[in-house]
Chain A
Amino acid sequence: MSATSQAYLNTRVTAMSTRLLEREQVQALAQLSLPELAERFQLESVLDDQLSKQAKSRAVEQTLIRVLLAELAVLIRPMTAPERGLLLAWGRKFALFNLKTLIRGKLYNLDQVEIREHLYDLPDGIGLSDQELLRAENVLELLRILEQGPHRLIARQAREVYEQRREPFALEAAIDQRYYAELVRQAMQFQGENVQSLRQLLGAILDRIDLLWLLRFRFSYRLSPSETYYQLVPSPKLLHRDRLLDLANMETFEQVLGALPSPLDTLLAGSTSLIDVQRRIGAHQHAEARQILSSGRSAVARALAYLVLRESDLMVLFSLIQGRLLALPQELIEIGVELAEPNCPIGGFASAA
């Protein structure tokens, strides 16, 4: 990227980062009613009274994703092909949500209209050719169609897994695994300052994902160490290959937390449940992204950090609106957006393991 494009992108990211929500702002938003939230974020049209609660919720989620992807489109404009490829690879997670919806729909023989209602409307470059995929008669045909497009690798992997196992879990795990592996592969192609910052950012993301998957697969789904390890993606930062091998081989939840490298060990010390771990490590990833955004020297890493944070903010907003739509108690909404800690006793893994 030329110095001019770098400067332009940095300025763009800085200007856009003023849209990110501070904790105080989230606290203030949590006190607003649904009409106030709708007015504040220009969502009146999607919260049309004639729609059902479910349809409203879908419409809000769709609108927020569209906002995020529109910002992604703005950010990639001055980028070079590899930088653009990285950000688009990150944005493809939404296409994979659609893919999973399509797969589940085909597996359970759902009606096309029903499946379509649950698909995100995505822009070109990120989306799948939904119409063609929708008309596939079964999962195998769907994956074979997908193998002819840009999601070739993910689809091939998914098809091979499906042909062998014929179960949705293995299929979806393969899709997720491939998505993160591809993201890391693209990020590691960069050089100099870019690779340092991207390693830090993707490391934080992968550390979080790996730890949560590891705990879930090992102690909730009771998968073997081998199978658990196979589903993970080595992180370019803390939870690298050898460490994952060690962690996957541990027998209890506490042993895993105890064997974590610094600073995850202190951060997660005393955690008793997956929800607790999720909250703490989520905050850690958030802090890392904030740090890259505020003082990172790589424009592409800052752009990606912004998108990660922005996605998280939009999900907070979605949770608030969802909470209001479902008329949930204020306390529960605040727990949902992590303004309050859950005070209900949640069974830890210590007993489960």
Chain B
Amino acid sequence: MLRPLPMKLVRLLVMTDDLPQASLTLAETESFEPDPREPEAQMLSGLPGRDYHEFYQQARSRLEKIAKLVPVAEAPDIDRIRVVYHEELAATNALLRERWEQASRFEEGFRHIDEEARFVRDQEAALANFANLKIDLGTLRNKTRFLDFYVGIVPRENVVRLEGAVKLADHLLFNYLQRGDSAHVVIVGPRGEKESQLQSVLSSASFQSLPIPQGLDDASPAQKHDEFARRREELERERARLHAELAAWERKNHELLLDARRTLLLAEPFVTLDPSIRSIGPLAVLSGWVPARQVHDLKQRLHESLILPFELDARDPLAAERPLVPSVPIKNRFLEPFAILVKQYGIPQYGEVDPTPLFAITFLFMFGSMFGDVGQGAVITALAWTLRAKLGRIYLFGVLAGLSSVLFGFLYGSIFGYEEILPALWKSPIHHPILMLEIALGYGVLFLVTACLLAIYNRVVIRNFSGALFGHHGIINLVFYLALVWGGLNLGLRGDFGTAPMLLVGVALGALAWFGWRHLDAPVGEKVLVVFIETLETIIGYVSNTLSFLRVAAFSLNHAALSIAVLTLAGMMGTMGHVITVILGNVFVLVLEGGIVMIQVMRLEYYEGFSRYFSGDGHEFAPLRLRFSKPAAVVDAAPASVSPTEAANGLV
């Protein structure tokens, strides 16, 4: 289960005319991840799908813009999977261009109404201002023989410059009101030749003329407000009419837009493959990664679907290609939430052990042992189950962690902090602290030894033998650590480290120092210093890392001690006070200690475990796939051996 699914690098040689069909077939099988590297053969340089790509991108962009105005289903049903050829895509693109031109008129219409509404608001504001001015507004409405008037709105940031510019045309600018981003201005100056200069400046400054309401002097402000209200209503009616027109347009074009969406979805695989396709004349080559056991099925499917001849060959990845090979993730309902946490650290590189199963087991063991309580574990489980709709896939993580806590609660005989109600199936931590610490230490040794073995295995798999022997957490390190543990045990049991472990520790450290010395390119003094510090760091590192696991026991004791504290406090209260204190105390323990235990376990997993053996710099297998549900008929017709789930379940 820990070994990755073997992958093959597949090279497919097809006739260029068959490329769209080949892409569709590859996407249907969901077992092909394109490899976008440059081809080894220099003459393969053309990009046959370039036009296709351009048409697709343009058409898709147009459809997305239309979809912002009217609903267009993201993944409509497709009755028949078929190849979309260049001509059809070009026609769809042209059609969408035409439809977007129509749709954009509605968009502009809505903008125009918004602008008008804003203008009405500005006019109302102007009216309120004019009403307070003690001047004859009638004169502002019409140009006089000698004076030129402009009343209007300009963007606020243009006012200062405009003021200077109108001054050069012998005019004056008066900014009488600022609203939002706009400034209301009156420009006045003599009529004459400079008047024409002003027009050009005003248009550069986005000046919008504000008509002075007719009859301002003889109509009451209430009447004018009614006029503006009527105008606003008119605009709302206009907006409603435009919405109705848009809805009618949508009804008329509904099927057409859905068909365009279908065409684009069917064209998508070829476009996705585009960067990986190279061609020479009528031949096209594309390569990608395929799970080894699906290569045969893939070939079979291509035989069935391609009309023109093709060639498919597959080979194992080269050692140098290993970082490029995708890793197929583990698909298991119970492991899925743990895989999410592993992904936070990284994706296993191809060949590397996937730590998810080991992570799940050790996580549940440590969490349960540090937070063992039947009642509190049951609460965690119940909460996770109740909130499963909101928590999504991660809810199972909460359920399992809670169940682990329940299991250890039974072993410890603890329920909501009470240690007397349930008989302990094993032992209560608070009564056997030394035993708990010894077990934690032993668990730590086992954990670190396993991590070192995995680190060694990961290096051997990629044929890095010197790394497996001398590298960090390699064989020599493991020998040193086991000898140290052996000596430590001797020291604890007999009071003497022992000659054999001492010798082994010395030899292992000597070997590490020698390896370090040989690989250092520095003056002798610096070499001595570095080798000394590195050797010291090895000793201190393993000792401190082992002691780090004492926290597993410490938290199990802490949990019991906190519970005792809560119950002691509750014991000092009356009946109601007792109940409230126990409830609040348990909530406190659940939230605070539960959170801390979670963090501590993650720290042990990531730092003491993953950092030893897991590089996490791989990438997940992301096969080419269709973004819509395949019709039943097509799924039935597909060979049973090429089911998508099987592709993803690929672990041996």
Residues of A at under 8 Å CB distance from B?
112-113, 131-132, 135, 137, 141, 153, 156-157, 160-161, 163-165, 170, 173-174, 181, 223-227, 229-231, 241, 244-245, 248-249
Contacts and interface: CB of A to CB of B under 8 A. Distances in A.
Which of A137, A165, A223, A230 neighbours the largest number of chain B CB atoms within 10 Å of its CB?
A: A230
Contacts of B204: 161, 164-165, 170, 173-174, 227, 230-231
A226 B197 contact: yes
B643 interface: no
Nearest to B58: A135
Nearest to B197: A224
B100 A224 contact: no
B206 A230 contact: no
A112 B54 CA distance: 9
B567 interface: no
B104 A137 contact: yes
Given A160-B206, A241-B164, A227 B197 contact: yes
A174 B168 CA distance: 19
Contact of A245 (B100, B104, B167, B203): B167
Contact of A230 (B54, B104, B161): B161
B157 interface: yes
Interface residues on B, range: 20 to 34
B155 interface: yes
Contact of A226 (B58, B158, B166): B166
Nearest to B59: A135
19 contacts: A112-B54, A131-B57, A137-B62, A137-B97, A160-B155, A160-B206, A161-B203, A161-B204, A163-B206, A173-B204, A174-B204, A181-B157, A224-B168, A224-B169, A225-B168, A229-B161, A244-B164, A245-B164, A245-B167
A245 B54 contact: no
B168 A245 contact: yes
B205 interface: yes
A173 B161 CA distance: 14
Nearest to A166: B203
A230 B166 CA distance: 9
Which of B160, B164, B205 neighbours the largest number of chain A CB atoms within 10 Å of its CB?
A: B164
Contacts of A135: 57-58, 61-62
B198 interface: yes
B255 to A, nearest CB: 24
A344 to B, nearest CB: 35
B245 interface: no
A249 B57 CA distance: 51
A273 B160 CA distance: 31
Contact of A137 (B100, B167, B206): B100
A141 B168 contact: no
B58 A224 contact: no
B575 interface: no
B570 interface: no
Contact of B165 (A137, A157, A161, A227): A227
Contacts of B617: none
A137 B62 CA distance: 9
B201 interface: yes
Nearest to B160: A241
A229 B97 CA distance: 42
B101 interface: yes
A131 B61 CA distance: 10
A338 to B, nearest CB: 33
B590 to A, nearest CB: 41
A320 to B, nearest CB: 31
Given A161-B204, A164-B204, A245-B164, A137 B197 contact: no
Q: Tell me what chain A mostly uses at the interface: helix, strand, loop, or mixed.
A: helix
Given A164-B203, A164-B204, A249-B168, A226 B198 contact: yes
A228 to B, nearest CB: 8
B200 interface: yes
A180 to B, nearest CB: 12
Interface string B253-293: 00000000000000000000000000000000000000000
Interface in B152-200: 155, 157-158, 160-162, 164-169, 194, 197-198, 200
B165 A229 contact: yes
Nearest to B205: A230
Interface in B86-106: 97, 100-101, 104
Contacts of A181: 157
Nearest to B158: A157
B204 to A, nearest CB: 6
A265 to B, nearest CB: 22
Which 4 residue pairs are nearest across A and B when measured between Cβ atoms?
A160-B206, A224-B197, A135-B61, A230-B165
Contacts of A113: 54
A226 B169 contact: yes
Nearest to B161: A230
B57 A248 contact: no
A296 B317 CA distance: 58
Given A113-B54, A160-B155, A249-B168, A226 B201 contact: yes
Contacts of B104: 137, 141
A227 B201 contact: yes
Contact of A164 (B62, B157, B168, B206): B206
A157 B155 contact: yes
Given A174-B204, A225-B168, A230-B165, 9 more contacts: A132-B61, A161-B203, A163-B206, A164-B203, A226-B165, A226-B169, A226-B201, A230-B164, A245-B167
Given A135-B57, A248-B168, A230 B155 contact: no
A248 B165 CA distance: 9
B618 to A, nearest CB: 26
Given A157-B155, A226-B169, A226-B197, A165 B203 contact: yes
Given A137-B104, A141-B104, A156-B155, A230 B97 contact: no
Contacts of B200: 223-224, 226-227
A225 B198 CA distance: 10
A224 B54 CA distance: 45
Contacts of B203: 161, 164-165, 170
B137 to A, nearest CB: 26
A259 to B, nearest CB: 15
A132 B165 CA distance: 37
Contacts of B97: 137
A213 B162 CA distance: 17
B245 to A, nearest CB: 20
A223 B157 CA distance: 22
Contacts of B168: 224-226, 229, 245, 248-249
